[in-house]
Amino acid sequence: MASKPKEPKFLNYKGKPLVRSGNFLYYGSMAEDYVIMIQVLSNRKIGDFEVADRVTVQLLNTDPDVRPKDKIVKKSEKKGLYAAMDIGTVWLERALENRA
């Protein structure tokens, strides 16, 4: 008897997947209309840890029919990951509410 393929398990933040790939973090589901992309531009050392210092946050349209230059709906540069996640969460919630 064949078993079902396992779905990948992602870290969730406020009920949406949060995935890291190198210096990029993606927040939201690619199955929805919008997703947040965060890019870490620089790090700083605090004690033994490296912490994201300068980051860009972008609200992206996931529609494959949209031209690549029109995919970026909003963009901002923030100091630290917390500020980027804070504004990105608000942008994503508002974009998903207003799609209808």
- Annotated domain spans of the chain: 11-97
Band the pLDDT of 98: cuts 50, 70, 90: confident
Q: In the predicted model, is pLDDT for residue 1 greater than 60?
A: no
Q: What is the pLDDT of residue 7?
A: 59
Backbone phi, then psi, for 68, in 5-degree steps?
-55, -35
Please give the average per-residue pLDDT across 4-32, as a whole number: 85
The C-alpha atoms of residue 17 and residue 98 are separated, in whole angstroms, by 20
13-43 exposure pattern, b = at least 16 Cβ within 10 A, e = fewer:
eeebbbeeeeeebbbbeeeebbbbbbbbeee
The amino acid at 87: I
64: which DSSP letter? T
